[in-house]
């Protein structure tokens, strides 16, 4: 199973979503920023590294908000969503095809990757 982490980065009532680029699995779908955990790396460290590499920001990673296991064609993913705050920098699109600050209430309107969509559903039930 592939271990993946994602960040819920807030700006007031908005959160950051990124669009997966062409050539990647789930190309064109929206997701919370993040990526794969490398061997020997904690979820928090992986999230900070991925956001530094993909968005050119430093993060303060908070607690885990929710997690899901999602079956995709040819792979199984365990995705954990963490609360996170940008401590340095302004997000820049280094790998994604698009990036947007989205109102929390409008997240479900985006064509999200299945695991991210399930996380949004879980979080909306908690509110």
| Long-range pairs, 74-78, Cβ under 8 A, ≥24 | 75/2, 75/25, 76/1, 76/2, 77/1, 77/2, 77/4, 77/115, 78/1, 78/2, 78/3, 78/4
- The CATH number for 7's domain is 3.90.79.10
Instruction: Kindly report which listed range (22-26, 41-45, 117-121) carries the lowest average pLDDT score.
Output: 22-26
How far apart are the C-alpha atoms of 90 and 29, rounded to whole Å?
Answer: 22
Question: Which tokens go with 19?
Answer: 């669009």
How far apart are the C-alpha atoms of 87 and 108, rounded to whole Å?
Answer: 27
Cβ–Cβ < 8 Å for 34, 4: yes
Say what the pTM is: 0.93
Q: Which domain holds residue 21?
A: 2-126
Altogether, the residues listed in the chain come to a count of 127
pLDDT score of 73 more than 90: no
Percent of the chain clearing pLDDT 70 (strictly above): 98
Q: How many domains does the chain have?
A: 1
Half-sphere exposure of 42 toward its Cβ, with a 13 Å CA cutoff? 8
Q: How confident is the model at residue 127 (pLDDT cuts 50, 70, 90)?
A: low
Tell me: the pLDDT tens digits for 102-126?
A: 999 899 899 999 999 999 998 887 6
For residues 46 and 26, the model is more confident at 46
Percent of the chain clearing pLDDT 90 (strictly above): 83
């Amino acid at each position: 199973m592939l271990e993946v982490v994602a960040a819920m980065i807030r700006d007031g009532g908005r959160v950051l979503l990124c669009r997966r680029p062409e050539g990647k699995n789930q190309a064109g779908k929206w997701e919370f920023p993040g990526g794969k955990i490398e061997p020997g790396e904690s979820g928090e460290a992986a999230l900070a590294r991925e956001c530094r590499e993909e968005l050119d920001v430093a993060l303060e990673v908070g607690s885990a908000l929710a997690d899901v296991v999602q079956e995709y064609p040819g792979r199984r993913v365990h995705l954990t969503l963490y609360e996170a705050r940008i401590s340095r920098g302004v997000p820049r699109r280094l790998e994604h095809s698009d990036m947007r600050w989205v109102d929390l209430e409008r997240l479900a309107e985006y064509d999200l990757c299945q695991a991210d969509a399930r996380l949004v559903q879980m979080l909306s039930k908690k509110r």
